[in-house]
Chains A and B, each alone.
Chain A
Amino acid sequence: MRRLKVAGQVASVGLVGALLVLLVWKVVQNDRTNVASSFTKGHVTKPVDFDLSRLNGNGKLQLSSLRGKVVVVNFWASWCEPCKSEAPRFQQAFKRYGNRVAFVGVDTADYSSDAGRFLSRYGVTYPNVRDPDRTVLGKYGGLPIPRTFVISPNWQVSGYIFGEARSEELDSAIQKALGA
Chain B
Amino acid sequence: MRRAAVAVALLALVAVPVARASEDHPTSMEVQQELFCDDCQTTLADASSVSWTPAAIHQINQMISEGYRKSQIKSALAKKYVGHLRELPAKPASNRPSLSDLEGEIMCPVCSTTLDQSDSPIAQRMKADISRRIAAGQSKQEIKDAMVAEFGQQILAAPPKKGFNLLAWVLPIVLLLGGALVLGLLAWRWSHAREPSPPAARLSPALERRVDEELARFDEG
Interface residues, chain A, CB within 8 Å of chain B? 1, 4, 77, 79, 109-112, 114, 132-135, 143
Interface residues, chain B, CB within 8 Å of chain A? 109-110, 120-122, 125, 129, 150-155, 189, 193
| Inter-chain contact A132/B129, CB cutoff 8 Å | no
Taken together as a complex, chains A and B put the C-alpha atoms of A110 and B108 apart, in Å, by: 11
| Inter-chain contact A133/B125, CB cutoff 8 Å | no
| Inter-chain contact A114/B125, CB cutoff 8 Å | yes
The 8 Å CB contact of B154, one of A111, A114, A133, is A133
Taken together as a complex, chains A and B put the C-alpha atoms of A15 and B109 apart, in Å, by: 33
Taken together as a complex, chains A and B put the C-alpha atoms of A4 and B190 apart, in Å, by: 12
The 8 Å CB contact of B150, one of A4, A132, A134, is A132
| Inter-chain contact A133/B152, CB cutoff 8 Å | yes
Across the interface, name the chain A residue whose C-beta is closest to B186: A4
| Inter-chain contact B110/A109, CB cutoff 8 Å | yes
List of B residues within 8 angstroms of A133 by Cβ: 109, 151-155
| Inter-chain contact A112/B150, CB cutoff 8 Å | yes
Taken together as a complex, chains A and B put the C-alpha atoms of A112 and B151 apart, in Å, by: 9
Across the interface, name the chain A residue whose C-beta is closest to B189: A1
Tell me the minimal C-beta distance from A120 to chain B in angstroms: 17
List of A residues within 8 angstroms of B193 by Cβ: 1
Taken together as a complex, chains A and B put the C-alpha atoms of A109 and B147 apart, in Å, by: 11
List of B residues within 8 angstroms of A79 by Cβ: 120-122, 125
Taken together as a complex, chains A and B put the C-alpha atoms of A171 and B110 apart, in Å, by: 29
Q: Known: A77-B122, A114-B125. Is A143-B110 also a contact (CB below 8 A)?
A: yes
Q: Given A109-B110, A109-B122, A133-B152, output 4 extra A-B contacts at Cβ < 8 Å.
A: A79-B121, A109-B109, A133-B109, A133-B153
Q: Which of A114, A132, A143 has the most CB of B within 10 A?
A: A132
List of A residues within 8 angstroms of B120 by Cβ: 79
Taken together as a complex, chains A and B put the C-alpha atoms of A79 and B122 apart, in Å, by: 6
Tell me the minimal C-beta distance from B41 to chain A in angstroms: 13
Task: Give 27 A-B contacts (CB < 8 Å), ordered by A residue.
Answer: A1-B189, A1-B193, A4-B189, A77-B110, A77-B122, A79-B120, A79-B121, A109-B109, A109-B110, A109-B122, A109-B151, A110-B122, A111-B125, A111-B129, A111-B150, A112-B150, A132-B150, A132-B151, A133-B109, A133-B151, A133-B152, A133-B153, A133-B154, A133-B155, A134-B109, A135-B152, A143-B110
Taken together as a complex, chains A and B put the C-alpha atoms of A133 and B112 apart, in Å, by: 12
Across the interface, name the chain A residue whose C-beta is closest to B190: A1
Taken together as a complex, chains A and B put the C-alpha atoms of A109 and B122 apart, in Å, by: 8
List of A residues within 8 angstroms of B151 by Cβ: 109, 132-133
